[in-house]
Structure 1
Amino acid sequence: MSEPGHSVPNPGDSDGSTTRRGSDLAREALRAAREASAQRAAERGGTRKRPGAGRGRRRRWSGPGPDDRDPQPFGRLISRVAMDRGWSPRLTDATVLSRWPQLVGSDVADHCTPVSLRDGELTLQAESTAWATQLRTLQRQLLGRLAAAVGPDVVRRIRVVGPSGPSWRHGPRHVRGRGPRDTYG
């Protein structure tokens, strides 16, 4: 083996008179490799635009700019999964029901309970008939607060129901009629 920068006799020359340097050999090898690569690319039907593109090869780093492969905040990933799978409307509905005291204030939340939210209609159950009337008068203000907090079309209507009376049904089976109340007197 010769030292770098020293000349090497050309094996193609019989007399050894023409010698090439190591850098010349490297340039020639690089040129031959590029030609072979270009020929293979032409046979495949084109050249690649960038080194990591196509055929499943991916770069192992994201580079200087942000990329989908960079670590992401957990909330952003969950939001993306919810959007992709169509869960967003149901999650928004659940947000209204779970964050009820923060959305409407503790004074209103102490006297009513959200029962359901379906097709934009929020059903509230008041603790008394007086609070049911009060909630009906506060309906516009509540709709405004909810629209500001979770979006304009999540809650479109509010239905207020009063307190329910005691139920005499216990268990899965019952008989039509007055039941145990018919023996009172």
Structure 2
Amino acid sequence: MTDGEGPAGPNGHAPGEQPRTGRDLAHAALEAAKAKARERGAPPNLRRGRIGGGGTGQHPRRRRWSGPGADARDPQPLGRLVSRLISDSGWQDTMTNARVFGQWARLVGEDVAEHAQPVTLKDGELTVRASSTAWATQLRLLQGKLLAKIAAGVGHGVVKRMRIQGPTAPSWRKGPRHVPGRGPRDTYG
């Protein structure tokens, strides 16, 4: 025998024997793999001639088809998908802040919302800017009721305290270079 020739001869089959087809070669390779597995002591995972077990041709952990129950591939309501996106991305605090700012008029009432606007919400402290000093004083008096209304609307613990600011006076400090001092004194009487 020369190299490359086995007992079957140079063309892959014994003299006087039919040539093997692809199916016969595959069956022989499968039987050889089973024999090697038995020699190693490995349990055969080849059932009904198919690899993977179960006889279905699919991965054993993969779901085959949808049943009558809910499935992750089923259409989902938009609200549920957005809620899942918010929780997976860690945007809960941002969305809570957005609810306070977006629903401000509904939370505190139209008359208060007309004269006061939320500025920032950080670490449970809501900063509100009033349109006049009189409204700032009024908001300070109503602060407890406003906190209760906000807690009822968006949840407890979102806004723990309020910092109310009056309107800001115009700044006379213009440009990077300015002259220190009190500024114009005869304007405000």
Shorter-chain-normalised TM-score: which range?
Answer: 0.5 to 0.7
Residue in structure 2 matching 1:130, options 130, 134, 137? 134
Residue in structure 1 matching 2:146, options 125, 142, 159? 142
User: Is 2:117–2:129's contact at 8 Å kept on the other side of the alignment?
Assistant: yes
Following the alignment from structure 2 to structure 1, what is the Cα–Cα distance between the partners of residues 92 and 179? Answer: 42
Secondary structure of 2:153's counterpart equals: helix
Following the alignment from structure 2 to structure 1, what is the Cα–Cα distance between the partners of residues 154 and 70? Answer: 29
Aligned Cα root-mean-square deviation (Å): 3.0
Extract unaligned runs of 5+ from structure 1. 1-35
Q: Which residue pairs with 1:27 in the alignment?
A: none
Following the alignment from structure 2 to structure 1, what is the Cα–Cα distance between the partners of residues 186 and 141? Answer: 42
Task: Tell me how far 1:175 sits from its aligned partner.
Answer: 2.1
> Match for 1:178: what amino acid?
G
Identity %: 51
**Match status 1:106 vs 2:110:** yes
Query: 1:130-173: per-residue Cα shift (whole Å, max 9, x none)?
Result: 111111111111111111111101100011111111122445x2
Q: Which residue pairs with 2:181 in the alignment?
A: 178
Query: 1:100-153: per-residue Cα shift (whole Å, max 9, x none)?
Result: 112111111001010100000000011111111111111111111111111101
Extract unaligned runs of 5+ from structure 2. 1-33, 35-42
**Match status 1:164 vs 2:168:** yes
Name the structure with the higher helix share: 1
Following the alignment from structure 1 to structure 2, what is the Cα–Cα distance between the partners of residues 182 and 140? Answer: 38
> Match for 1:115: what amino acid?
V
> Match for 2:109: what amino acid?
G
Q: Which residue pairs with 1:87 in the alignment?
A: 91
Give matches, 1:41-60, under 5 Å. Answer: 53-54=60-61, 57-59=62-64
Task: Tell me how far 1:67 sits from its aligned partner.
Answer: 2.2
> Match for 1:181: what amino acid?
P
> Match for 1:93: what amino acid?
N
Residue in structure 2 matching 1:40, options 45, 48, 51? 45
**Match status 1:151 vs 2:164:** no
> Match for 2:184: what amino acid?
R
Q: Relative to structure 1, is the Cα distance of residues 137 and 183 closer, same or farther in structure 2, using a 3 angstrom cutoff?
A: closer
Q: TM-score if structure 2 supplies the norm length?
A: 0.63
Secondary structure of 2:45's counterpart equals: helix
Misfit runs of 4+, over 6 Å: none
